[in-house]
Structure 1
Amino acid sequence: MCGAGRNKMGLLGQPTQEKIVLALALVLCLGFALLLPGFWTASNLLNLVRSVSILGILGVAMALVVIGRGIDLSLVATMAVAVAWSLQLAESGMPMAQALAFGLGFCLLIGLLNGFLIAYVEIPAIFATLAMGTAVYGFGRYFLFSLDIVYMPPDAHALTWVGQGTLFGVPAPIYMFALVSALAFLFLRYTRQGRYLRSVGDNLLAARITGVPTRPIILMQYMISSVIGFLAGCVTAASVASMNVRISNSTLIYDVILVVVLGGIGLSGGKGGIRNAIVGTLLIGVLLNGMTIMDIQYTVQNVIKGIILLTAIVIDTLLNPRDEQTAQQGDI
């Protein structure tokens, strides 16, 4: 009996990537608090979380797709083009609510196309979404707006609050991050579609045999990803009163993947949850904030993030070895 109890306690105390990353974030916080004046202040900690809220929202979107054994490299491009188009429509006289509805519809269409190419045409997700991201950026830049930077209309006060407002001293983007995380957690934990998504990521063939509508679920996960990306884009535009479409060609998409993989969501699918994305976001937030205070060059920061991403992928490969089905599908 005692042996069984010790065994159970050992399993409960077994280290996971999520626990390791959380512990590392706490160690970094402690180290920066001791070495960097002004780091451990309420204002800096709020700014830290606020600065990565948009990254965290995008991380939640990517987490849902990766849990379903996919990846969405078009996420940032879709976000930028849809929001820029909405701002362009509003600037030309369309009511902001209607303009945002058009942008949201555009995101749903791109998500639907991604899901169709992956689920029905059976193109590997990494290639389908990479091509889609390039096509979306080119389409938006040529047909929907003429400038790389589209500014928000001066009368869009309600939308501006989403990026610049505060409630009880806490910036609005933090609330948006918390809301998206909570809704995604409830979706995965308590809805049938959320359980289907996880089962598709865990074993596509087994899910299909047991009656799970695998192809519609794949369509759904990419549409949800695009919608969450659109929300992140609205927060981004509201924060700076504009949308710079060149963000599509930045390293932001790799930062999003870094958050997901570093947090412990396995690229082989079916593993991890929204909490992992939150932990990964907090670690990256602490790291970026500390490097900024230490005045480390942006290029050097990218090198450090690249090394961390590569290390996280190696750890993911060791902890979540690829199965035969994954190998046959060309991985993600």
Structure 2
Amino acid sequence: MHKHHLFWPFVVLGTLLLFNLIYSPDFFSIQMKEGHLYGSLIDILNFGSPLIIVSIGMTLVIATSGIDLSVGSIVAISGAIACLSISNGGERSPFSLMLAAVVLALVLAVVLGLWNGFLVAAVGMQPIIATLILMVAGRGIAQLITSGQIITISNNPYKYIGAGSLATLPFSIFIVVTVFLAASMFTRRTALGLFIESVGCKPVASRLAGIRSRTVLLAVYMFCGLCAGIAGLILSSNVSSADGNNAGLWYELDAILAVVIGGTSLNGGRFYLAGTLVGALIIQTLTTTIYMIGVPPEITLVVKALVVLIVCLIQSETFRLTLVARWRSRHYPAEREVKQHG
């Protein structure tokens, strides 16, 4: 019987949560303090918000048989330009400063996504090379914006984006819900999702069918840049500062892993936004678990990589069938002989 594509991601997520519950019995406890909800589950949703948003954009890029290695750099750039804008804003009201900073950062993020899309769609450059250029240069641009320093700001409206609360929950969770619903609506309620899958699966056939593949690619990379820009705003506003060197570092790898864990193939074609959401939660829960059990920082990435490798192997149907075949041949040798002589 064919299992639903979310079966194994949910199994892995449930296993991680169960381990945390056994290791720390109060892991699922949620408390109300000063009108805000607090707890490990709330923290996973809150701190995982930037990664979830970046992963949503990455899903659509991968669905077109592409990849975007520059999202981490765009995260750093958007946070840096927003904080710099507020820092140099003068005596204007905090809200107008925040609004101008957010608009400037998001427009710049979309332009950077457009640049990636231009290199891929118009120039014909391989996506991994096109986005690698901005991955390297973008990190340098972020450090140029901050002059190699950490820009610290004090702006309550801006801080609310990443550290504020709405209806007792972190505001960043509502941003995630908005982005997820918008992406789902445009890709599942319109023909855009079909166009994206067609370009990723059969680019030549989709072009012959009249689909403007270049426009689709431009739109997808621009949306991915927008998602990275939103994530940069959340990260920088949460700590009221911008660090061009470390903000969004390795986010591109976590986002790609979240998409793959969620069931979307790197070969392009059919994609699963809900699977990506679960995959990103697995990555964030794993990170929380590693820190909670006290894994030394120097081997944290190794442990994380091993767990992700195991998760991907569990999801691989070929790997599972091979294990089952070997187990049956070992425990039922007579069955193997029948197949050989039959």
TM tier relative to shorter chain? 0.7 to 0.9
1:263 aligns with 2:262: yes
Query: Match of 1:327?
Result: none
TM-score by length of 1: 0.85
1:33 aligns with 2:21: yes
Larger Rg: 2
Greater displacement, 302-311 / 55-64: 302-311
Tell me which of 75, 84, 101 is aligned to 1:99: 101
Query: Match of 2:233?
Result: 234
Query: Match of 1:150?
Result: 151
Query: Match of 1:6?
Result: none
In structure 2, runs of 5+ residues without a counterpart are 31-38, 91-96, 319-342
CA 1:277–1:229: 2 relative to 1, 3 Å: same
Query: Match of 2:281?
Result: 282
1:87 aligns with 2:83: yes
Query: Match of 1:58?
Result: 54
Identity over aligned pairs, percent: 27
CA 1:244–1:139: 2 relative to 1, 3 Å: closer
Q: Deviations over 1:256-308 (max 9, x none)?
A: 11111111111011122210111101212222222221111233221122234
CA 1:114–1:314: 2 relative to 1, 3 Å: farther
Partner AA of 1:293 in structure 2: M
1:98 Cα deviation (Å)?
2.4
Query: Match of 1:250?
Result: 249
CA 1:33–1:238: 2 relative to 1, 3 Å: same
Tell me which of 116, 119, 122 is aligned to 2:121: 119
Contact 2:27 2:41 in 1 (8 A): yes
Contact 2:287 2:304 in 1 (8 A): no
Q: Deviations over 1:103-125 (max 9, x none)?
A: 22221221111111111211110
Matched residue SS, 1:278: helix
Runs of 4+ in 1 over 3 A off after TM superposition: 308-319
Q: Distance in 2 between matches of 1:150 and 1:161?
A: 18
Matched residue SS, 1:150: strand
Contact 2:8 2:314 in 1 (8 A): no
Query: Match of 1:7?
Result: none
Matched residue SS, 2:242: strand
Q: Distance in 2 between matches of 1:267 and 1:308?
A: 19
Contact 1:185 1:273 in 2 (8 A): no
TM-score by length of 2: 0.82
Q: How does 1:1-332 map to 2 (within 5 A)?
A: 10=1, 14-42=2-30, 43-93=39-89, 95-142=97-144, 144-152=145-153, 154=154, 156-247=155-246, 250-310=249-309
Q: Distance in 1 between matches of 2:42 and 2:99?
A: 30
Matched residue SS, 1:275: helix
Partner AA of 1:62 in structure 2: M
Matched residue SS, 1:93: coil
- Pairs aligned (count): 304
Q: Distance in 2 between matches of 1:51 and 1:103?
A: 21
